[in-house]
Copies of this chain bind each other. A is one copy, B any other.
Amino acid sequence: MFILNPQSGVPLYRQLLDQVRRMVSSGQLPPGTALPSIRDLALLHAINPMTISKAYSLLETEGLLERHRGKPMTVANQAAARPQLARRLQQVEPLLDQVVLAARQLEITEPELAKALHTKWEEADE
């Protein structure tokens, strides 16, 4: 469900944070959905429960998740409607900036980059 990469330099809790935000944004996690329990995620990804707890707590502070004593956390109601395409695109922009910067510094051309992206996309389909 979530993809965590410990090598990337980005803290694990932040990777989780971003992914939950996106899946709520897209409607893949609609309001009311229960999130996987902290323990389950910790076991599954072999990371410490507190790392996940930290991400979940921050999302609660943000108002995106709701806590229910003794029950799983859920996506909040006001984590409303799936935003317009434009707003969702905004969330990928920082990454696109990094990609474009990297490609240009490597003197990769635009068609070469576009092709590489296409390949990655298709790989993800499998």
* Chain A interface residues toward B at CB < 8 A: 3, 5-6, 8-11, 14, 18-19, 22-23, 25-28, 48, 58, 61, 69-70, 82, 85, 88-89, 91-108, 110, 112-114, 116-118, 120-121, 124
Copies of the polypeptide in the assembly: 4
Interchain CA distance A117-B6 in the complex, whole Å: 26
Does the CB pair B106–A114 fall under 8 Å? no
Does the CB pair B100–A121 fall under 8 Å? yes
Q: Shortest distance in angstroms between A98's beta carbon and chain B's nearest beta carbon?
A: 6
Does the CB pair A99–B102 fall under 8 Å? no
Q: Which residues of B contact A121 (CB under 8 A)?
A: 100, 110, 113
Q: Which residues of B contact A105 (CB under 8 A)?
A: 19, 22-23, 26, 28
Asked if A117 meets B113 with Cβ closer than 8 Å, knowing A3-B101, A101-B3, A102-B95, the reply is yes
For A110, give its contact among B82, B113, B118 (CB under 8 Å): B118
Q: Which residue of chain B lies nearest to A17 when distances are taken between CB atoms in the complex?
A: B9
